Amino acid sequence: MTDIDQLAHQILQQDRRALARGITLVESQRSDHREQSIALIQTLQKHPKRALRIGLSGTPGVGKSTFIEAFGSLLTARGLKVAVLAVDPSSLRSGGSILGDKTRMDRLSRDPMAFIRPSPSQSHLGGVTRRSRDAVALCEAAGFDVVFIETVGVGQSETIVSEMSDIFLLLLAPAGGDELQGVKRGIMEMADIILVNKADGELSTAANRTCADYSSALRLLRKRPQDPSNFPMAMTVSALTLLGLELAWQAVLELTDWRKANGHFAGRRAQQARFWFEEDVKQGALDVLNRQEIKNEIDRLGQQVEAGELSPARAAEQILKHLSRRE
C-alpha cells in the first residue's frame, strides 16, 4: 500500500487529521505533490459520496461568516457533518484569506461535527480553483454531509463556485433605497435561493421590501423547467435571531430532492466534471507560455508591439513558431 493509498484509506475512515493532511497536499504548489494529489483524488473518485455541495456568495459586509456559523450550527445540531471551504480571490492580492480568521466562526470552529478550512493563498485564480475543487472532493470522501463553498461576490469567483456546487445561495443585505443592489444579472441567474440577511430589528421592513423586489426580479429571469415552479426563490433570514434559517434549509432540501428525482442532480455533476476537465486541458495547453524563455520572448516582442514596430498578429506568429520549433 502506497502512502497515497493509505492517506486515501484514512480519509475514507473519516480521520480528520488525514483530511487536513490531504488538503495541505492538494494545496501544495510542488510538482511532486501535484502528482500525488491527482493520484489521491483519482483513488477517492471511485468511492461513493453523499455530500451536498452548497455554494454561497455575497458582497463583503453582508454577514456571510455569521450566516454560515448560524446555518452550519443548525445543521450540526441535526446530526449533519458540515465542512466549510472558501474560494477567495482576495487571497491573490493579500496572501491572506477571508476565512483566515477562524474566530469569526468561533462556535462552528469548535464544533466536532464541523470542519473549517481557510482559503489557500495562491498566486493565481486557477490555483485557488483547482485546490478548492480538490478540497471539496476530499471533504466529500471524508464523509461530510454538507460542504459549504464560500466566496466573496466579485464576479468571476461566483461562476467558479457555481461550477463546484449543487445548490447556489446568494446572500444579500437589505437595500437602503428602492434599487436593487447592483447585483449582476448573471449572478442572479446562478442563484437557486436568494437570502436577504439581517431581517431583524430596524432592518426588518427594508429586508422584506428587498426580498419582494428580488422575488419580482427572479420571476423575470428565464424559467428553469427542471426545477419546482417556486424556484429560484428569495427569502428573508436573520443570522442573528435565526429567523428563516430552518425554512431556508427546507428549501434547499426540497430543491435537492426534486433534482435527484428527475436526474438533474447527477446530470449537473457530470456536466461540472466535464467542464473542469476541459478547463484543466486548456490551462495545461496555456502552461507552455509560462516557460521562462517564452516569457522572455513575449516581453521582448511585446515591447516592439507597444512601440508600433510590429503588429500584434505578426508578433504572435513569431512566438507560436518558437513554440513549435522547441517541441
Binding site for a second copy (CB under 8 A): 37-38, 41-42, 45-46, 130, 133-134, 137, 155, 178-180, 182, 184-186, 269-271, 273-274, 276-286, 288-289, 298, 301-302, 305-317, 319-320, 323-324, 327
The total of other beta-carbon atoms located within 10 Å of residue 209's CB is: 16
For 63, other C-beta atoms within 10 Å of its C-beta total 21
Asked whether the bond before 232 is cis by omega within 30 degrees of 0, the reply is yes
Q: Which is nearer to a second copy, 258 or 276 (CB)?
A: 276
Specify the residue, 77 or 286, whose C-beta has the smaller distance to a second copy. 286
Residue number, 107 or 300, with CB nearest to a second copy = 300
Answer yes or no: are the C-beta atoms of 136 and 148 closer than 8 Å.
no
What SS3 state is found at 3?
Answer: helix
Question: Cβ 68 to a second copy, closest distance in Å?
Answer: 27
Cell (9 digits) for 143:
464523509
Q: In the complex, what is the shortest distance from the CB of residue 127 to a second copy, in angstroms, rounded to a whole number?
A: 13
3-state secondary structure of 53: strand
> How far apart are alpha carbons 228 and 270 in whole angstroms?
21
Edge-to-edge strand ranges of the sheet holding 167-172? 114-116, 82-87, 146-152, 52-58, 167-172, 193-196, 233-236
Q: CA 160, 139, 163 angle in degrees (round to 5)?
A: 15
Buried b (16+ CB within 10 A) or exposed e, 293-316: eeeebbeebeeebeeeebeeeebe
Q: How far apart (Å, rounded) are the C-alpha atoms in residues 15 and 225?
A: 41
Q: How far is the CB of 22 from a second copy (least distance, A)?
A: 14
Q: Rounded to the nearest whole angstrom, what is the least distance from the CB of residue 287 to a second copy in the complex? A: 8
The least distance separating a second copy from the CB of residue 167, rounded to whole angstroms, comes to 19
Instruction: Closer to a second copy by CB, 21 or 268: give it.
Output: 268
Closest approach, Cβ 25 to a second copy, in A, equals 13
Q: Which is nearer to a second copy, 92 or 305 (CB)?
A: 305
**CB of 164 within 8 A of CB of 272?**
yes
Q: Give the shortest CB-297-to-a second copy separation in angstroms.
A: 10
**Measured from the CB atom, is 230 or 290 closer to a second copy?**
290
By beta-carbon proximity to a second copy, the closer residue of 32 and 178 is 178
In whole angstroms, how close is the CB of 2 to a second copy at the nearest point?
16
Q: Is 101 or 317 the residue whose CB approaches a second copy more closely?
A: 317
C-beta of 175 vs 199, nearer to a second copy: 175
Sign of CA dihedral 224, 248, 172, 112: negative
> What's the min distance (Å) between Cβ of 220 and a second copy?
9
The secondary structure of 135-181 as a DSSP string is HHHHHHHTT-SEEEEEEESSSHHHHHHHTT-SEEEEEEPPPSSSS--
